[in-house]
Every structure is written in C-alpha cells, then in structure tokens.
Amino acid sequence: MENKTPKVFIVDDDKFLLNMYSIKFSKNGFEVNSASSGDEVLSKIKAGYQPDIILLDIVMPGMDGFEILEALKKGNLVPNTQVIMLTNQGQLSDIEKAKSFGTSGYIIKATTIPSEVVEEVRRIYNLHKTI
C-alpha cells in the first residue's frame, strides 16, 4: 500500500504553470491529471476520476478555487481526496477560508520553487493519508 503511485490533479488557469508542474510531478513519481477551469475539474470528477490529491489554484476566470471547493464539498464529490491550495493569494483570510473547507495544506506559488512544491505536497500527503 505504501508504494501506490499517488494520483495528483493539478488545477490552474495558467497553462504555462500547469504544464510545468505536470512535468515536475510526473518526473517525481506521481500520476498526473490537470484542468484549467472549474468546469473541467467538475466534469472530470463527475466522470469518475478520483485523485488522491487536488492542487488547487484560487484566482481563475469563471469559478475560482473557493467556488470549486464549495461545489466539491456540497456534492461530496471527492470524499477521499486531499486538497492542497497552490496559489499566490497569501492573505490570512484566504488561508483561513481554505482551512474551513477541510483542505490539507496551503502553498504560496511565488515563494516556493517547483521542486519544493513537489516535496511539500508529498510531505502533506503522507502526513494526512489514512490508507
């Protein structure tokens, strides 16, 4: 069980970042899927995709990260998934709001280099996983 490849679903409207993080996580032993909008997130989840981890941006056109969290929670769509925020919004109010949705972690993009993002996600995931 400890050798299971973690499935990470990376959500960001910035295609450059999405691509860069996807490559980084793939190279580090994660199974990667990605989405650049809330609609895409919800359609993939509703089609049956159940990631172990969702990395969620906040500022996006259309649904923002909090609206996505709300939709996921309301429908109990990802009961066994850890959500980690990956955003440039560093205000305490945003961090508290994310926590109130039961998210597992909060990473600020601008101050965390990609390899640190991978390590931080791995650390948070291992800390909270139950199986």
Placement of tokens 């769509």 in the chain: 77
* Stretch in the footprint of Mg ion (CB under 5 A) among 7-15, 32-40, 68-76, 116-124: 7-15
CA-wise closest residue to 104 among 26, 41, 34, 51: 51
Query: At its nearest, how many Å lie between Mg ion and the CB of residue 5?
Result: 27
Instruction: Number of residues interacting with Mg ion: please give it, by CB under 5 A.
Output: 4
Q: Residue ranges of the alpha helices (H) in the chain?
A: 15-27, 38-46, 65-74, 92-100, 114-128
Asked if residue 40 binds Mg ion (CB under 5 A), the reply is no
> For the window 55-74, what string marks contact with Mg ion as x by the rule CB under 5 A?
--x-xx--------------
Query: At its nearest, how many Å lie between Mg ion and the CB of residue 58?
Result: 7
Distance in Å from the first CA to the final CA of the chain: 7
| Interface ranges with Mg ion (CB under 5 A) | 13, 57, 59-60
